Structure 1
Amino acid sequence: MYFKFGVDSFIWTENFNKEDLWIIPKAKELGFELIDFAIANPYTFPVEAVRDVLDRTGIDCVCTTTLTKETNPISPDREIREAAVEAMKQAVRICNELNSPILGGVNYAGWGYLTRKPRTEQEWQWGVECMRRVAEYAMESGNVTICVECVNRFETHFLNIAEDAVRFCKEVGTGNVKVHLDCFHMIREEKSFRGAVETCGKEYLGYIHVNENDRGIPGTGLVPFREFFQAVHDVGYDGPLVIESFDPGFKELAGNCAIWRKLAGSGEELAVKGLANLKAIAAGM
């Protein structure tokens, strides 16, 4: 069974800038077919330099981003919601420049924004309205699909499971908003890996992160990758599967993601060993 495996820039750096351009050829050298640029700040991301290195290297890319409390589409503050829309439009422009077909991540709410209450109908309306504006811009300006990542309850109260994410996509209603699944979050929130994939189906499954339950080396933990890969194959998903993790030395990300110990000798080791494990699992199916 063949899948297109990729690696996230978070493996090496938490805020990609010009000093990190070497990551692009390194990803290809290590055997990955694609790189996921985690856009920490869409206004400072070195898009032109990245495009030049991508062209020279000959590797495909996608993008992800995480919104903040200052760019939060479900904030009660209208100015913050407007800032969210503008930040997302800028991320879409980056995707257009890089020929990235996907903009994934926590792009529907401020990452880590928790009200300590269940999601409200008002928050849902704000989120749908903001995403619809961004999605319409994406259609007008290029061909980017926005993929909303279901993450665990400790990182958002807004979208935790595939069922809610599919409903969100349907209510945005533009046809270019799909679901971003991540095995790390799925093992905490979903009842079934196959069930979550089938809930999305080919129509709404837009992007996948293949992370282990502890964010360690994929294939060494509790995630049922055989079941997951079979379900992904059965629904006809043909997009990338990307390894993402973080180093405990990262100042901000490690704290936000509660990474308190080393999960491998280095982020690169985690990615390389994970790639070998996942390819072996897929080849044996």
Structure 2
Amino acid sequence: MKINFGVDSFIWTENFSEKDLWIIKKADELGFETIDFAIAHPETFPVEEVINELKQTNLTPVTTTTLDAERNLLSDDPSVRKNGVDSLKLLVDINKKLGSKILGGVNYAGWGCLSGKPRTETEWKHSVEAMREVCEYAQTVDPELNICVECVNRFETHFLNIAEDAVKYCKDVGTNNIKVHLDCFHMIREEKSFSGAVKTCGKEYLGYVHVNENDRGIPGTGLVPFEEFFRALKEIGYTGPCVIESFDPSFEELNSNCAIWRSFAPTGEALAIDGLKNLKEIAEKIE
């Protein structure tokens, strides 16, 4: 099975800046086809410099983001929700400039902003309405850009944990450019079945995939049933990228939410190299 494998900028750096531009050529040299720019702070992202570097590679760019408490689409404060909408609109503009067709991540709520109780109808309404505004804006900027909402585990959000809820969210937003972002690390904690989650999304709603191991270590060395997962992706006709993402214990902003307290490989780059090799071998088994 031929899969478009990619790598996340988090493998090397927490906040991508001009000093990290070398990562782009490195990802290309390592044999990845897609690079995911993790952009938590779009106002400081070096767009033009990244564009120039991408031109020298064969990489396809995609992006992910996370919102924080000041940009939480679930908030009762309209000004906070507006901050989130404005940030996402800026990211839409950045994706247009990069040529990216995917904006994934925890883009529907403040990441790590747990309420201590199940989501409410009011939170659902707030997020859906704000996301609809973003999606409608994106349609005017680039009709081919998909906003993909990432189901993450219960320790990182109380809002969207499973594919079934993410599909419902997409349907309630109601535009044709809202999709689901699945991540194997989160799926192994929340889903009953990897293939079941993929089929719940189907070709219509599955827009993006992260192929991470259950401990965020080297993909193919843990508990994630990648062969089952890849077969399900093939069955629904998913042709988008499958991207490796992990984090380093030296990161500061991310680690409290991700709970990364130890290294999973000598370097993030080593994790990506070995993970790519393992995942390609698994994919080759699938006819």
TM range, smaller chain: over 0.9
Between the aligned partners of 2:172 and 2:120, the Cα distance in structure 1 is 15
Hey, what does 2:25 align to over in structure 1? 25
Of 197-206 and 55-64, more deviation after overlay is shown by 55-64
Indicate the percent of aligned positions where both proteins have the same amino acid.
Answer: 67
Partner of 1:41: 41
For residue 55 of structure 1, report the CA deviation from its aligned partner. 1.0
What is the CA–CA distance in structure 1 between the aligned matches of 2:59 and 2:9, rounded to whole Å? Answer: 13
Distance across 2 between alignment mates of 1:104 and 1:208: 9
Partner residue of 1:115?
Answer: 115
Show the counterpart of 2:237. 236
| Cα shift at 1:106 | 0.2
Instruction: Specify the code of the residue in structure 1 equivalent to 2:232.
Output: A
AA at the equivalent of 2:231: Q
Counterpart of 1:51? 51
Distance 2:265 2:126 in 1: 40
1:59 positional shift: 1.4
The aligned counterpart of 1:193 is 194
The structural deviation recorded for 1:284 is 1.6
Residue 58 of structure 1, CA deviation? 2.9
Per the alignment, residue 176 of structure 2 pairs with 175
Aligned counterpart, 1:4: 4
Q: TM-score, normalised by structure 2?
A: 0.99
Report the counterpart of residue 162 of structure 1 in structure 2: 163
Aligned residue in 2 for 1:204: 205
Once residues 238 and 127 of structure 2 are traced to their aligned partners in structure 1, the CA distance between those partners, rounded to angstroms, is 26
Shift of 1:60: 0.9
Distance (whole Å) between structure 1 residues aligned to residue 59 and residue 219 of structure 2: 22
For residues 129-165 of structure 1, the C-alpha deviation after alignment (integer angstroms, 9 at most, x for no partner) is 0000000000011131000000000000000000000
Counterpart position of 2:135 = 135
User: Using the alignment, how far apart are the partners of 1:275 and 1:255 within structure 2?
Assistant: 27
3-state DSSP of counterpart to 1:147: strand
Q: Distance in 1 between matches of 2:16 and 2:256?
A: 18
Partner in structure 2 of residue 72 of structure 1: 72
Q: Which residue of 2 aligns with 1:278?
A: 279
User: Structure 2: which 5+ runs fail to align?
Assistant: none
Measure the CA separation in 2 of the matches of 1:261 and 1:232: 31
Aligned length: 285
Q: Which residue of 1 aligns with 2:267?
A: 266
8 Å contact kept, 1:16–1:40: no
Q: TM-score, normalised by structure 1?
A: 0.99
* Alignment partners' CA distance in 1, 2:182 and 2:175: 20
Distance 2:219 2:201 in 1: 23
SS of corresponding position for 1:26: helix
Q: CA RMSD in A?
A: 0.6
C-alpha displacement of 1:266? 0.5
* Structure 2 match to 1:81: 81
